[in-house]
Amino acid sequence: MKHALIRRLTMGALALGCIVGAACKKEEPAPQAALPGVGDTARQAVGDAANAAKLAAADEMDGAADKTIGKCVMCALRMDGSAEHASTHAGYTLHFCSAGCKKHFDEGPGDAIAKLTD
């Protein structure tokens, strides 16, 4: 009799734990819905406009808006770039300080430009 009572209490506790555990289970929030009327094309256009503005600002750093960016946009030192390490993107010629900076830019120019700060 004593064992049967212990068994029932144990089974009851297990059942209660399953019920409480299910009720207390934290649910993940639903993903945010996209903004109404704003599709991927519109988001891309905003990103492209922001990147174009960053390229224009980098171009003007040398005092001439000539679509040639002479300072390396990849390293934080803004070192002088060289024609030896140059790439073109969105109508601009970008000079980099090293082959490594050029390679990094060429692998993801949009991401690299998006990270530029004034």
What is the mean pLDDT of each successive set of 10 residues along the chain, which is 118 residues long?
57 52 53 57 78 89 89 87 94 94 94 81
Please give the pLDDT value at position 40: 75
Q: Are 51 and 92 in contact (CB under 8 A)?
A: no
Amino acid symbol at 99: A
Beta-carbon contacts of 66 under 8 Å, excluding residues fewer than 6 positions away, are: 59
Round to whole Å and give the CA distance between 41 and 104. Answer: 26
Delimit the domains of the chain by residue range.
51-114
Please give the pLDDT value at position 96: 94
Query: Could you identify the residue written with the tokens 């144990």?
Result: 10
